[in-house]
Amino acid sequence: MLRSIYLVRHGESVSNAGGITMPHALIPLTEAGRKQADALSALLPAQPPRILASPFIRALDTAEPYATRMQVRIEREPLLQEFDMVDPVLIAGMDQAQRRPIADAFWKEGDPAKQMGKQAESFGQFASRVSVFMAERLPLLPDGTVCFGHGIWIGMVAWKLLGFGADTCDDMRRFRRFQTGLPLPNGAIYALEELAPAQWVLRNRFV
């Protein structure tokens, strides 16, 4: 094995716990999420050469205890941010139960080009962003790098490594079924392992 790059899902967020809609990038961790972030330090590499994080608050706050303990600067990486599926303006004031039918309808429709509001991205744009990370950022990361991000994002990495597409309505619906079946609890750890040059597999190391 040439390299291992660790992908970490953020700790429990206010949204995960059913809270009222906030701008996606500003959703904070719950108290349980902060405890999960503290616990991760003992499970990740002791001397990471780099620590990358999605610029979303919940990912940065999950990375912070580990980065502080390891004395490594957190590098914000926009390519790691979560799928911005729905513009927060369209779901303002809703709790998780109220948001779910909107999300379910989006996935059921399965239109890779659809954007739900000006501050949202399409499924196709999201998939392309993950592809850019894998093609341009991943080859440059040193062994032991730790990346803090999000569940659907890690799911897309797994999907692409299996060789599946993200271009058609059927692709989008199949991805959703695949992603929701993955074991990705808050605080999950996955390892991207390079078995040969540019040949990667994803293995779970989740807590």
Comparing 29 with 99, the larger pLDDT belongs to 29
- pLDDT value at 115 more than 60: yes
Q: Is the pLDDT of residue 206 over 80?
A: no
Percent of the chain with pLDDT over 70: 98
The SS3 of residue 47 is coil
170-190 pLDDT per residue, tens: 999 999 999 999 999 999 999
- Percentage of residues in the chain with pLDDT exceeding 90? 80
* Residue pLDDT, tens place only, 80-106: 999 989 888 888 888 888 888 999 999
> Is 52 within 8 Å of 146 (Cβ atoms)?
yes
Write down the mean pLDDT value for the chain: 94
Residue in 175, 149, 140, 150 with CA at minimum distance from that of residue 161? 175
Q: How far apart are CA 116 and CA 107, in angstroms?
A: 12
pLDDT exceeds cutoff 80 at 21? no
What was the pLDDT predicted at 91? 84
- 125-138 pLDDT, tens digit each: 999 999 999 999 99
Q: Residue 12 and residue 28: Cα distance in Å, rounded?
A: 9
Dist. CA 179–CA 18, nearest whole Å: 20
The per-residue pLDDT for range 136-167, each reduced to its tens digit, is 999 999 999 999 999 999 999 999 999 999 99
